[in-house]
């Protein structure tokens, strides 16, 4: 039996830049997201590939001794009526209350985990503006920024206020 039960409970796959060897766990959080949530995010961001689009991510964080943080994304919430162009998207301060009204978690420990947005044709990275957003609004190490390029169909995840690149594990279900 493994001395790392959390590793055994997750269906692991090799991720570029990260080893799955038990002695080489990544020090950054691991983002675990259901295929259905990924499809929902991609559908929203593919809806108009001429502009950047964004939304929010909901779920919970789990921690076990000796294992990296696992950020479990259970749902996404697309945001509309934003200021957007092919190179930027912004949610205005007065739009936050409207976004929060849509959050009625079915479980008390479900929380805002971060945000997602598109970079149509620009690749996967966090811009200076994205890093400022992450540092201002998403300060915890487990806060996530997902970036999707709908032109190349590529996706990346970044965590914490510094926007560190982190692996994504796609799962078949979003159940706990």
**pLDDT tens digits in sequence order for the chain, 176 residues long:** 334 333 333 333 333 333 333 334 457 899 999 999 999 999 999 999 999 999 999 999 998 888 889 999 999 989 887 788 888 888 777 776 766 666 655 566 788 899 999 999 999 999 999 999 999 889 999 999 999 999 999 999 999 999 999 999 999 875 55
Every domain of the chain and the residues it spans: 30-171
Give the CATH number of domain 30-171. 3.40.140.10
- According to DSSP, the residues that pair with 57 across neighbouring strands are 76, 114
The residue behind tokens 């985990």 is 113
For residue 44, what are its two tokens? 């929203």
pTM surpassing 0.85?
Answer: no
């Amino acid at each position: 039996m493994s001395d790392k039960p959390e590793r055994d409970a997750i269906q692991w796959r090799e991720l570029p830049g990260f080893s799955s060897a038990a002695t080489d766990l990544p020090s950054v959080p691991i983002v675990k997201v259901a295929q259905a949530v990924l499809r929902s995010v991609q559908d929203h961001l593919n809806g108009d590939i001429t502009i950047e689009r964004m939304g929010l991510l909901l779920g919970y964080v789990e921690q076990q001794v000796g294992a990296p943080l696992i950020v479990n994304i259970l749902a996404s919430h697309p945001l509309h009526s934003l200021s957007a162009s092919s190179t930027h998207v912004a949610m205005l301060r007065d739009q936050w209350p409207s976004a929060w009204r849509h959050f009625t978690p079915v479980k008390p420990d479900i929380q805002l985990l971060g945000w997602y947005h598109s970079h149509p044709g620009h690749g996967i990275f966090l811009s200076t503006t994205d890093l400022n957003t992450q540092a201002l609004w998403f300060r915890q190490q487990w806060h996530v920024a997902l970036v999707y390029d709908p032109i190349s169909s590529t996706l990346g995840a970044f965590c914490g206020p510094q926007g560190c690149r982190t692996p994504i594990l796609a799962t078949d279900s979003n159940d706990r």
